[in-house]
A and B are shown apart, each in its own frame.
Chain A
Amino acid sequence: MPSADIVIAALVNGLLTGGVYALIALGLTLIYGVLHIVNFAHGSLLMVAMYGAWILSAWMDPYVALPLMAAVMFVVGWALYAGVIGRIGRGDDRTILLATLGVAVVLDNLALVVFTGDTRTIETPYSFDMIELGPLLLSTPRVISFGVAMLLACALWAFMALTDTGRAIRAVAKEKEGARLVGIRPARIFALSYGIGIACLGAAACLLLPTFYVSPQVGNVFVLVSFTVVVLGGMGSFPGAVLGGLIIGVTESLGGLFLGESLGQIGISLVFIAVLLFRPAGLFGARA
């Protein structure tokens, strides 16, 4: 039986990891909520963003690069939707789904060609800084990434709730035809939402880089967990994505502690099944 100190440390570490899951899942849930498609390219675009941040790290700190990377990824997301996914999809959900899958395959293999299968890491002056909190040793960059992820989640929520653009996005998500009647152009809102969803990945990439590695497969490490988070929280729900991310982070961490790191992953699936059994639409999902 692990000591109380270790359990508390595992709990806090789980929360910190969950913050980043939440940020990645926010983008995914936004795209689902508006476009009603599961973005299979999410992991690959995270990988692209991480390579972007990795390249930029030669000139600037990943945290300084965060706004830039988010902006760049917004443009990438917008262009990808307007130029490729939307065009191929022609409004048919299934085709859009396949288009995102195609984008993922192309990006993954392009990365293999350009960057080879190597694993890359960076070292920043604060990579190994720790915050001492009683018996806890918390990695400073992970505390920062948690804080920034939560701030961004709040900012995104405020944007959706308080601005006209946010209202337009919500209008399109709810009732596309009705939105069109009041002068909103759904195609533009789709590209905008996809862009914002991908911009979240730009931010997540910069937050991950000081403590994680980059490789062409790095997206797969996060994307399955994010899918779980989104379904758990309720497809399309922001508070659901945040809470779901934190729950999955803590479950994974405690599961690893009590069941061993191999078997511990089962905890995620157990929580997932329990939520689906008792709240089929997810924690915050609208009931059908």
Chain B
Amino acid sequence: MTLRVTRRAALAGAAVLAAPIVARAQAAPVKIGLIHPVTGALAFSGQQCRLGGQTAIGDINGAGGIKGLGGAKIEAVLGDAQGRPEIAASLVDQMAEGGVSGFTGCFASALGLAATQAAAKYNIPFSIDSGIADSLTTRGLGNVFRFFPNNSSVTTDAMTALKDINTKAGSPAKTAVLVHEDSEFGTSTAKLLADKLPPIGITVLALIPHATPTRDFSNIVLRIKSEKPDLVLISNYQNEYVLLARTLVQQRVELVGTYSVSGGGFNLKFAKEAPTVAEDMMDFNHWYNPRDPRGPAFRKRIEDGGGVFTWEVPFGYFAVRFLADAMDRAGSTDKEKVIAALADSTFSDHFMPYGPTKMVNGQNTGAHAVALQIQKGDMQVIWPEQFASAPAVFPRPKI
């Protein structure tokens, strides 16, 4: 179900968003627009990003505001993109009228593409939180910056990780079956992975597509069984990810491991609700640096506050901090100066498993995702070595 918004309601909403809140701080508050899909199909992830962004603003204001701006507090201007690009773009227009000095957002690439383009008209700096499409920063928009990894770095790293993990274990994985959902997302991901597997010494035995939703994975698992692969690579959405994982365990398929890239259902909730199924499953995804004490502390803080911890929360959090850091160093909210400060950023006050921050055409080339494995109901980073919280269980024990 999508929410319908009448023009009148949208205008009223815009008026509320744009209405200034009387601030008593010594310096004028800095407005930052947070644009996320907090209703509609992407609501859960959008809310997670927003939670991160608001937490960051609370932290910065609590620590005395932005120092370089005379302790100016940040004022969040919240926008709901509802999962629709045209709404994301119009929110940018409304917020620009309302005098925001920067944006963060928008969880999904499709929303980000529309919103960053709209923000480019005003040359207002835009700090991407989640939104993995390379094109967000390759279109030549000077106001767009991404502290987090892009799609090509994630897929390239994912294969390097698999190769490293496999080689280190004495190359037990030589063959793989790819199971993917049959729309654009699953099909293109599976094809991309199928091309990249042979160069790392893994033969692709079969690509098995399935519809969304699929009620029963028994047949697919029987086919997997008959192919006798070492690895099963999965690219589908949450529900089918969980069902397939279940059926693999039920049918006692002996595997060296399962692997996915940004797996639809791979998260802490899955690890806790389905410990038997989730155990030893691997995914290449975003996470915090478990070796930095601030990472686990941040997660605990979110969980203690009644929130669910997913990688979207630190993304929303650091998108704001990355932007605020640039404003601090620029000593101004002047767009040109903040953009210059973002382009020169060496932002290091974070707990992500990244190398030194270096911005090239708006993309942080130091940003990388990590290989994760669910072990004993918790998430462990197993690759790269320098950020690992546990060694990989690979090959996984026989059932």
Contact = CB atoms under 8 A, between A and B. Distances in A.
A127 B43 CA distance: 30
Contacts of B251: 130, 137
Interface stretch (B158-166, B241-249, B355-363, B390-398): B241-249
B273 A121 contact: yes
B348 to A, nearest CB: 35
A2 B226 contact: yes
B218 A123 contact: no
B277 interface: yes
B301 interface: no
Interface in A93-147: 105, 108-109, 112, 116-123, 127-128, 130, 137, 139
23 contacts: A2-B222, A10-B219, A17-B215, A109-B1, A112-B1, A116-B43, A116-B44, A117-B41, A117-B43, A119-B265, A122-B273, A123-B275, A130-B252, A212-B215, A212-B243, A213-B239, A213-B242, A221-B213, A221-B215, A222-B215, A225-B215, A257-B222, A262-B211
A3 interface: yes
A75 interface: no
Contacts of A139: 218, 250
Contacts of B208: 260-261
A6 interface: yes
Nearest to B308: A118
A256 B214 CA distance: 10
A117 B220 CA distance: 26
B167 interface: no
Interface residues on A, range: 35 or more
Contacts of B218: 9-10, 13, 17, 139, 253
B239 A215 contact: yes
Nearest to A208: B215
Nearest to B39: A112
B276 A127 contact: yes
Given A109-B1, A119-B242, A123-B277, A13 B250 contact: no
Contacts of A105: 1
Contacts of B276: 123, 127-128
Nearest to B265: A119
Contacts of A222: 215
Given A109-B1, A221-B213, A262-B182, A256 B219 contact: yes
B331 interface: no
Contact of A261 (B211, B250, B265): B211
Contacts of A6: 222-223, 226
Contacts of B337: none
A123 B210 CA distance: 24
Given A120-B273, A121-B242, A123-B276, 14 more contacts: A6-B226, A17-B218, A109-B1, A112-B1, A112-B43, A119-B265, A128-B250, A128-B276, A139-B218, A256-B220, A261-B214, A262-B182, A262-B211, A265-B211
B269 interface: yes
A119 B250 CA distance: 20
A119 B41 CA distance: 13
B219 A257 contact: yes
Nearest to A109: B1
A215 B241 CA distance: 14
Nearest to B249: A128
Contacts of A120: 273
Interface string B210-243: 1101111011101100100000000000110011
A246 to B, nearest CB: 14
A253 B210 CA distance: 12
Given A123-B277, A215-B239, A13 B211 contact: no
B27 interface: no
B172 interface: no
Nearest to B270: A121
The winner among B211, B222, B252, B277 for most chain A CB atoms within 10 A is B222
Contacts of A261: 182, 208-211, 214, 219-220
B16 interface: no
A260 B399 CA distance: 28
Please provide the 4 A-B residue pairs with the shortest distance between their CB atoms, ordered closest to farther.
Answer: A261-B210, A13-B218, A262-B182, A256-B219
Interface string B11-38: 0000000000000000000000000000
Given A119-B265, A123-B273, A128-B250, A17 B242 contact: no
B209 A260 contact: yes
Contacts of A118: 44, 269
